[in-house]
Amino acid sequence: MSRGDQRQEEPPEQRESGLRSMAMHFGGRLIEGRDFREAVLERMQANLPGFPPERYEAELDAALARIDEAQVGVMARREQLIAEARTLDRLNAVFTVRYFNRRFSGHVGEYGLGRINLVDALGDLYSRRQITEAVQRCDALIDEGIRMGIGSWDHEPNMAHLRRAHPGFSDRSLSQALDWGHLIHR
């Protein structure tokens, strides 16, 4: 029995939920430019057969509308993040955006918006050279925080080490780098 045949035997509520979920998944791929509408509709029909063709189209259109609405919220959060970064000193401002880009920008909940361009966000405050230098230091901190996630979870000694190894970063930045390491290695 194929997966499609198994799905046809599911209760109607489960099939409806599956169709909505599939439409969101494939809608995200459309938004990101990773798929074409016709191919998506064919895959939806193959993965969950039994609905009329116009139903797949309607569900995909509804998913695209939900994604458009969600992108408005995502853009507002990104603008808030940039506004916050702009109030910080250069190192922590660049860290705020760089950390977001590395940790969150590729998540499905970002709906294909990609990374925040550091020069667009902070280029009127700092030169490209200053931003590039800060990025190198930020990456070093993030990478060390991730590596430290393998070891001890004793927060204060870890923070003390990061303060010494990465001067100029706020405790918030240091803590975010360390927390990401703990999340990855838990």
pLDDT band at 42 (very low <50, low <70, confident <90, very high): very high
Tell me whether residue 76 is in a domain: no
DSSP label at 154? -
Tell me whether residue 80 is in a domain: no
**Tell me, what's the pLDDT at 7?**
52
Name residues whose C-beta falls within 8 Å of residue 140's C-beta, 6 or more positions apart in sequence. 166
Domain ranges, residue 168: 88-184
Tell me whether residue 105 is in a domain: yes
Tell me whether residue 138 is in a domain: yes
Tell me whether residue 77 is in a domain: no
Tell me whether residue 79 is in a domain: no
d(CA 86, CA 92): 9
Which one of 21, 37, 71 terminates a domain? Answer: 71
Does 110 lie in the same domain as 34? no
Does 30 lie in the same domain as 63? yes
Q: How many domains does the chain have?
A: 2
Q: Is residue 1 pLDDT above 50, yes or no?
A: no
Tell me the pLDDT tens digit for each residue of 84-108: 999 999 999 999 999 999 998 877 6
Considering the entire predicted model, what is its pTM? 0.76
Does 124 lie in the same domain as 159? yes
Q: What is the mean pLDDT of residues 37-42?
A: 94
Tell me whether residue 175 is in a domain: yes
